[in-house]
Structure 1
Amino acid sequence: MSGIVVIKCGGSTLEQLSDDFFQSISKLKQEGKHPVLVHGGGPDINQMLEQLSIESEFVDGLRKTTSVVLDTVEMVLCGRVNKQLVKRTQEGEGLAIGLAGCDANLLMVKPVNVEKLGYVGEPIEVNADLIHTLIDQQLIPVIAPIGVDENGTHFNVNADTAAGAIAEALGANELIFVTDVDGILKDGAALATVTEEEVHQFIQNGVIYGGMIPKVRAALHSLKGSLPFVRIVNGKHAVFSAGNGLSGTKIVKQTAPTLS
């Protein structure tokens, strides 16, 4: 199936997404494209953990997830955040369905590093047939990144990593990371285009750091498939439809022009 657009909405951007953003998701459908939304929910998770007095920490940009933290993450992502996104997508005149990666083994995972990160999973298989079936029914899937292993154990999955795996499995035409910054920043300015090699260099020299690292690594991994490029855009300005060019940073497979 062609025309699939995987859009990952960062948790820090959800409150900032405009009505125009969600209306443009519906317009993609009208233009014959097939949007698939994958979302995070970091700020909402942090707020709930604080309310419940549960300690949480990040290791290499990933949330260390104990069983208690996992219960909270799952409650927030699969409940509050997922259903808010479904509601807003439908207010934008799209017909959406919310689900989690643990539903129907949508997102099969293996532990990343139990000792270091706890219940954090890495995608190893995606039930692409399920997503294609939903798309065939003219539905817009809205996916919370909770994965499941072969034993039925649930895992927290970085939403960027989940989006990359889903895009690769679906053979998506586009993968767009909607975040709260204008793209990959260097000296305070967003870079329009970067290559895979440059991304590796930026990670090494600290230009790319923190939560942006899982994002660009997911982008690089997805470029191993048929995708020619991946975009990172600011949710405040993101509108999807024909004739609306997206700003932000484009990560490309091929060598880009020398950056100034």
Structure 2
Amino acid sequence: MQPLVIKVGGAFIGDKDAARGLFAVIAQLIKTRPVILVHGGGPIVEQWMQALNLKSTKIDGLRVTTDVHMPYVVGALAGTANTQLVAQARACGLEPVGLSLADAHLVHCTQMQAKYGAVGNVEPADAKLLNTLLAQGFLPIISSISCSDGGQLLNINADQAATAVAQLLKAELVMLSDVVGVLDKQQSLLAQLSPRQIELLAEQKVIRDGMLVKVKAALNAANSIGLPVTIASWKNPQSLLQMLAGNSAGTRIYPADVQIADETKLDQEHP
């Protein structure tokens, strides 16, 4: 059965009710298919930065991670956030295993431009560990901390981290955040988007900043694995079950080689 990679945003981690709801759904999903959870932890990082009186900035929707900040970012993501999710999963009867992207050479990681600091790009590398865990029914929970081949710890955008894991396993990917999906100018949900439509909305600044990073990551994953990637909300985890039954949930981002119905509709609505 094809694996399912679920990515959750940092705001989710601090919401115990949301965690219980999602893990209850995962407990149902894992009976029929392997599931992997990949997470960020932006709000937890922000809490640490404020407590330490350190200034946090973003460029192009990506967190700038200085060498001074890096130990605290690692502690927040690979430590606090990851362990909290493991504990919440155990409370729901699952068998979670806490990991980071740095483990078992899951990905190949290189540092991005210097302006971002200790921030990296990742590509899929070795699926051996994940395949072993999934075959035994474990739920891998992976933080977005990785390292270069030279051992430098690097912070990875969590959407890009989830993309790499989905590519590694040729898995279906769902990106969950605190928004229902991609919205148009009227703040209405767009059920599906093609690469051409994404380009149009980006030019019009309808999709921008963090959402643009998310959509680009989803499109990259869709093109890489040849499957649509869904952007949806963790506030309604039951939508995952609806989606897997063939119903709509959030926004589906389609790969470039797939023609979708009503593709011209958006052009007419956003000339």
User: TM-score surpassing 0.5?
Assistant: yes
Moved more, 151-160 or 232-241: 232-241
- Secondary structure at the residue paired with 1:26? helix
What's 1:184 paired with?
182
C-alpha separation between the residues in 1 aligned to 2:78 and 2:252? 30
Offset, 1:20? 2.5
What residue number does 1:159 align with? 158
Select which of 254, 259, 262 maps to 1:255: 259
Distance in 1 between residues matched to 2:76 and 2:225, nearest whole Å? 33
Aligned equivalent of 1:193: 192
Shift of 1:243: 4.5
Secondary structure of the corresponding residue to residue 209 of structure 2 = coil
TM-score (norm: length of structure 2)? 0.90
Offset of residue 246 of structure 1? 5.1
Q: Which residue of 2 aligns with 1:120?
A: 119
What residue number does 1:43 align with?
43
What is the count of residue pairs matched by the alignment?
A: 256
**1:8/1:176 contact within 8 Å kept:** yes
Which amino acid in 2 is paired with 1:94? L
TM-score (norm 1): 0.93
Q: 1:90 to 1:243 in 2, by over 3 A?
A: farther
Task: Please report how far the alpha carbon of residue 39 of structure 1 lies from its aligned counterpart in structure 2 after TM superposition.
Answer: 0.2
Structure 2 spans left out of the alignment, 5+ residues: none
2:211 alignment partner in structure 1: 212
Report the Cα distance in structure 2 between the residues aligned to 1:185 and 1:168, rounded to whole angstroms.
26
Could you list the structure 1 runs, at least 4 aligned residues long, displaced by more than 3 angstroms after superposition: 240-246
Deviations 1:212-260 (A, max 9, x none): 1221111111122333201011111122336584521111122331235
Cα-Cα RMSD: 1.6
1:52 aligns with 2:56: no
After superposition, the C-alpha distances for 1:178-221 in whole angstroms (9 at most, x for unaligned) are 00111001121111111111112222211111211221111111
Report the alpha carbon displacement of residue 137 of structure 1 after superposing the two structures with TM: 1.7
Tell me what 2:202 maps to.
203
Identify the structure with the greater strand proportion: 1
1: CA distance between counterparts of 2:191 and 2:92?
29
Deviation at 1:10, TM superposition (A): 0.7
Equivalent residues in 2 for 1:68-147 (5 A)? Answer: 68-114=68-114, 116-147=115-146
Name the % identity: 33
In 1, Cα distance between equivalents of 2:45 and 2:204: 30
For residue 233 of structure 1, what is the aligned residue in structure 2?
232
Distance change in 2, residues 1:18/1:155 (3 Å): closer
After TM superposition, the structure 1 stretch with the greater mean CA deviation from structure 2, 101-110 or 64-73, is 101-110
Work out the CA distance in 2 between the residues paired with 1:135 and 1:18.
21
CA contact (8 A) 1:18 1:236 kept: no
Aligned 8 A contact 1:108 1:149 in 2? yes
